[in-house]
Chain A
C-alpha cells in the first residue's frame, strides 16, 4: 500500500514530478483567505478602540473566517494537479552581482497553492469558523470585557496560520509561524490576571522560541545551500542536486525538525501544550485541532523533499514521534483533568503523525492530522461545554453520568462519539489514518524503525484506555456532579445564568424548566448546570458530521479498490508527493507519462516490499488492521471494567500499585508527568537561574555599585569637598577666584622662571 522502501529511489525517478509551479495571476482572489482574517482582526482592533459592548467582534470574525473557508472551497475546485504561485504583491527582491542563483534574495508575498495547501486550509478555516461560532457563545460572559480581544486574537491566529500554510516561501512561512506563536501567547494568556495563565502563555512562547530558532537557522541554511527560499525554485534546486553531503545541507532537516517539534509539541519541547489549557477552551480547540500544532506536521510535509535526502533525520523524526506518543499516552492515563487528558492525547496523536512522517508517509500523517482535527475539536468543544455548564468543573472524579443530565445529552453523545474516534475504533476515520501510519512503520525500508510499529500498537491500546476512562467516568454511570469553583473563567454565575434565562425565551431549548428541577442534584443547593444553546450545539454537530465524513475517503477506497483516496490525491499532488506515491489504489489522470511510469515502478517495488515485511505472518496491512482493532477493543474493555462497571477497582488497582515499591514509580511517575517539567527545571532553569544570579550579582556589585555608582560617587565626593564654597556666601566664590588666580599666576611664573634659566 505504501511505498516507503521505494521512496528514496523514487526521488530520482520522479524527478520532474508535479512540481513545476505556474504563475496564476487570475487566482489573486485566493488572497482573500488571508485578507479576511486580517481585516476582521483589524476591525476587532477598531471595536476595541471604540469600546464595542456587543457580540459584533464575534460576528465579524465568524463572517471573515467563513469567507476564508468559502474562498478555500472555491480554490479547491480550481486548483489542478499543477501547483500555482499567486503573487499578491512584491515584497523583498534583492539582487546583486549578475542576479543569478545565490546572487539574490526574493521573498514576495506569494501564495503557493497546491493540493496540500488547499487540503490543509480546508480544515484550518472550516474548523476555525466553527470554533469561532462556538466561542461566540462560550465567551459571552466576557462581552464588553475581553470579548473583542479574544476574537481579535482568533483572527490573527487564523491569519497567521493562513500565512504559514499558503505562503509561497519560507519567509512567509516563518512570519506565519511567529504570528501563530504570538496569537497563541495572546490567547493562552487571555485571563492575564490569573498567574497560571500568564505562566502558561510565557511557557508556550518561550518553548516555541527554541523551536523557532531551529526554523530560522534552517531558513538561513536553505538559502545558503540552495540559493532560494521560494518553494517553486527550491524544489527545482533540490531536484538538481538532491543529496548534498555538505553539513549545511545535512543540517537543514534537523533544524526544521526542531522547529516542528516546538510548534507541534513533541519531545523534548512538548511541555508547553498541557499548560496551554489555561486559555479558554475554544482556544484549546483551536490550538489542538486547527491551527497551531498541525503547523509542525505541515512544515515537514511541505519540506519533505529536504527530508527524503536525509534518512537519519527521518528516522529521528519517527523515533521522536513514537516516543512522544508513548510518553504522552502514559501521562494521559493518570491525569484527572479532562482538558489535560485531551491535551496529552493531542501530544500522543501528534506523535503518531510524526511517526508517520518519519517512516515516510506524508499521506498517513496528513490524513491523521485531518481526522484528528475533527475529533479533537469535538472533544475539546464538548469538554468546554461541560466546563461551561458546570462552572469550570473538569475533574473526571467529580463528574459522572452527564448523559442523563438534561441539556447535556447531545453534548455527551458527541463526546462519546469523539472518544470512539480518538480511540481509533475500527472503521472510524482515525482507525484508517492510524492504520496508514502503523503499516508504514512496519514496512519501512529502514528496519530500525520497525519497532516503532509495535510501540504504536501499544499506544493505541493505551489511547483507547484513557479515552474511555474519561468517556465512561464522565458521561456514563450514575448522575453525580460538583460544580467547579471558578465560574468559567471570570464569569460570575448569576450573570451567566441571567443571560441564559434571557435566551431561553427565544425558545431555543426547553431545558430551563428542567434545570430548576434537576439542578438540585448538585451538592450546591444553588447550582444549576445549564446546557449549551445553538451557537455551541450547531458547531458541535457540524464537527461531529465532519469527523464521521473524514473517514469517507477510506470508506470509498474500501468499497471500490480502484477509487482514489481523496486525501492521498491531495498529498500526492504536492511537494510531499514522495510520501504518498500515487501507485496504490489509483493513478491520477493528470499525471504525465513519466510520472505514470515511475508510479508503476513504484508499485512494483512496493508490492515486493510488502511481501518482504510480513507482520506475524500476515500482510502488513491486514495484520495492522487486526492488531489495531484488537488493541483498541482491549483498551476499551479494560476501561469499561475499571471505570464503569466497577469503579472501585481502579482505585484498588492504584492502591495496589502504590503499595509495592517496585511498581510505585509507575503511578507516581505517570501522575506527576514523569517529572519532565521538574527535570527541565533542574537541568535548564536552575543552572540558568544560577548563572543569572551570578551575573546579576556581578552586575549589582561590580558594575552598578563599583563602576557606575563609584564613578557617580567620585564627583559627589569631590563635590562634598567643594560644596561649602558654593553655599551662597561670597567668600566661597572668592576662594575659587583667588585660588584660580593664584594657580594661574604660579603656573605662568613657573614657566617663565624655567624659561629664564
Chain B
C-alpha cells in the first residue's frame, strides 16, 4: 500500500467493506463454532474468526495508512499456524481415544 494515494476519499468505502466483512466472518465463525459438533469443523470455524480478525487488521491499517496492521496479520498467521498444529494434534489424539470426532463424546470432562 502506498500511503500517498489520493484516489479515494477519506471515508474509504474499501475500509468500510473490509470492516463489515471482518465482522460478518467473525460472527459466522462464532455461529459455526457454537452449532457444529465435528471437532474439525469447529476448528475451521476458529480459522474463520481468524480470517475476520486479519481482515479487520488490514482494513484499519488502510484507514490509518499504517503498516502495523499488516504486520499484525503476520502475527495472526503465526498464531493461526501454531494453533492449527496443536489443535489438529489434539484432534488426532482424541480421535484415537474415542474413534469419533464428536465433541459430545467428551462430555465426561464436565465438572459435575
- What is A's interface to B at a CB cutoff of 8 Å? 726-731, 734-735, 738
The 4 closest A-B pairs by CB, nearest first: A728-B110, A728-B107, A729-B104, A730-B103
The yes or no answer to B8 lying at the interface (CB within 8 A) is no
Interface residues of B (CB under 8 A from A): 30, 33-35, 37, 42, 103-104, 106-112
Cα-based distance from A727 to B108 in the complex (angstroms)? 8
Are the C-beta atoms of A731 and B107 separated by less than 8 Å?
no
Say yes or no: A738 contacts B34, CB within 8 Å: yes
B contact residues around A728 at 8 Å (CB): 104, 106-110
- Nearest A-chain residue to B27, judged by Cβ: A742
Query: B8 CB to closest chain A CB, in angstroms?
Result: 24
Identify the closest chain B residue to A730 (Cβ). Answer: B103
**Complex: how many Å from CA A243 to CA B112?**
77
Contacts A728-B107, A730-B103, A734-B34 supplied; 18 other A-B pairs, CB < 8 Å = A726-B111, A727-B110, A728-B106, A728-B108, A728-B110, A729-B104, A729-B106, A729-B107, A730-B42, A730-B106, A731-B33, A731-B34, A731-B35, A731-B37, A731-B103, A734-B33, A738-B33, A738-B34
A695 to B3, CA, bound (A): 83
Minimum CB distance partner of A726 in chain B: B110
Q: Which residues of A contact B104 (CB under 8 A)?
A: 728-729
Report the separation of the CA atoms of residues A728 and B111 in the bound assembly, to the nearest whole angstrom. Answer: 8
B33 to A, closest residue via Cβ:
A734
Q: Tell me, rounded to whole Å, the shortest Cβ–Cβ distance linking B56 to chain A.
A: 14
Shortest CB-to-CB span from B64 to chain A, Å, is: 19
Tell me which residues across on chain B come within 8 A of A731, comparing CB atoms.
33-35, 37, 103
10 residue pairs from A and B, CB less than 8 Å apart: A726-B110, A726-B111, A726-B112, A728-B106, A729-B37, A729-B104, A729-B107, A731-B35, A731-B103, A738-B30
Docked pose: A299 CA to B108 CA in angstroms: 75
CA distance A730 to B111 in the complex (A): 12
Contacts of A726 in B (CB 8 A): 110-112
What total count of A-B pairs have CB within 8 Å? 30
* Chain A nearest CB, measured from B95 CB (Å): 15
Distance to closest chain A CB from B45 (angstroms):
10
Q: Is the CB of A729 within 8 A of B112?
A: no
Within 8 Å CB of B42, what residues of A? 730
CA gap between A729 and B104 in the complex, in Å: 5
Query: How many angstroms between the C-alpha atoms of A734 and B45 in the bound complex?
Result: 13
Instruction: Enumerate chain A residues within 8 angstroms of B112, measured Cβ to Cβ.
Output: 726
The smallest beta-carbon distance between A754 and chain B, in angstroms, is 20
Cβ contact of B103, chosen from A729, A735, A738, cutoff 8 A: A729
Measured in the bound complex, the distance between the Cα atoms of B106 and A664 in whole Å is 86
Q: Collect the chain B residues with CB atoms within 8 Å of residue A734's CB.
A: 33-34
Min CB–CB distance B1 → chain A (angstroms)? 28
Alpha-carbon distance between A683 and B104 when the two chains are bound, in angstroms: 68
Q: Which A residue's beta carbon lies closest to that of B31?
A: A738
Complex: how many Å from CA A729 to CA B33?
12
Which of A726, A730, A734, A738 has the most chain B CB atoms inside 10 A of its CB? A730
Chain B contacts for A738, CB-based, 8 A: 30, 33-34
A726, B42: Cα distance in complex, Å:
18
Complex: A415 Cα to B66 Cα, angstroms = 122
Shortest beta-carbon distance from A755 to chain B in Å: 21
Give every chain A residue within 8 A of B109 (Cβ-Cβ): 728
Name the CB-closest residue of A to B109.
Answer: A728
Using Cβ atoms and an 8 Å threshold, which residues of chain A touch B110? 726-728
CB distance from B84 to the nearest CB of A (A): 18
C-alpha gap A514/B34 in the complex (Å): 100
CB closest chain-B residue, reference A742: B30
Q: Output the nearest chain B residue to A739 by Cβ-Cβ distance.
A: B34
In angstroms, Cα B37 to Cα A727, docked, is 14
Q: Which residue of A lies closest to B107 (CB)?
A: A728
Q: How far is the CA of A734 from the CA of B42 in the complex (A)?
A: 11
**A731 and chain B: residue at smallest CB distance:** B34
Closest to B110 in A: A728
Q: Which residues on A sit within 8 Å (CB–CB) of B34?
A: 731, 734-735, 738
Q: How far, in Å, is A263 (CB) from chain B's closest CB?
A: 60
Shortest distance from the beta carbon of A740 to any chain B beta carbon, whole Å: 12
A729 to B102 CA separation, bound complex (whole angstroms) = 9
Residues of A within 8 A of B33 (CB): 731, 734, 738
Q: Give A726 to B109 CA distance when docked, in angstroms.
A: 11
Closest to A733 in B: B110
Residues of B with C-beta under 8 A to A727: 107, 110
A731 and B110 CA atoms in complex are apart in Å by: 12
Complex Cα distance, B35 from A731, in Å, reads: 7
CB distance from A723 to the nearest CB of B (A): 10
Per the bound structure, the CA–CA distance linking A734 and B108 in Å amounts to: 17
- Give, as a whole number of angstroms, the nearest-CB distance from A751 to chain B: 19
Which chain A positions have C-beta within 8 A of B35?
731
Task: Select from chain A the residue with minimum beta-carbon distance to B103.
Answer: A730
Output the nearest chain B residue to A735 by Cβ-Cβ distance. B34
CB distance from A358 to the nearest CB of B (A): 75
Cα(A729)–Cα(B112), bound, Å = 12
Give the complex CA separation of A734 and B46 in angstroms: 12
Q: How far is the CA of A240 from the CA of B109 in the complex (A)?
A: 86
Q: Which residues of B contact A729 (CB under 8 A)?
A: 37, 103-104, 106-107
B52 shortest CB reach to chain A, Å: 13
Q: A726 to B110, alpha carbons, bound, how many Å?
A: 7
Cα–Cα distance between A727 and B35 once the two chains are bound (Å) = 15
Q: Name the distance in Å between A79's Cβ and chain B's nearest Cβ.
A: 78
Nearest residue, chain B, Cβ from A723: B112
A731 CA / B38 CA spacing, docked (Å): 11
Give the distance to chain B from A534, nearest Cβ to Cβ, in Å: 74
In whole angstroms, what is the CA distance A341 to B108 when docked?
Answer: 76
The residue of chain A having its C-beta at the shortest distance from the C-beta of B30 within the complex is A738
User: How far is it, in angstroms, between the C-alpha of A728 and the C-alpha of B104 when the chains are bound?
Assistant: 7
Contacts of A730 in B (CB 8 A): 42, 103, 106
List, in ascending order, chain B residues with CB within 8 A of A735's CB: 34
Taking CB atoms, residues of chain A closer than 8 Å to B108 are 728
Task: For the complex, give the distance between the alpha carbons of A215 and B34 in Å.
Answer: 75
Shortest Cβ distance from A243 into chain B, in angstroms?
A: 77
A745: min CB distance to chain B, Å: 11
Once bound together, how far apart are the Cα atoms of A730 and B38, in whole Å?
Answer: 11
Q: How far is the CB of A512 from chain B (nearest CB, A)?
A: 76
What distance in Å separates the Cβ of B43 from its nearest Cβ neighbour in chain A? 11
For the complex, what is the distance from the CA of A730 to the CA of B110, rounded to whole Å? 9
Complex alpha-carbon distance, A301 and B112, angstroms = 72
Min Cβ gap B68→A in Å is: 23
Q: Complex Cα distance A727/B106, Å?
A: 10
CA distance A21 to B90 in the complex (A): 97
Question: Which of A727, A729, A738: most chain B CB closer than 10 A?
Answer: A729
Task: List residues of chain A with CB within 8 A of the CB of B107.
Answer: 727-729
- A443–B30 alpha-carbon span in the complex (Å): 107
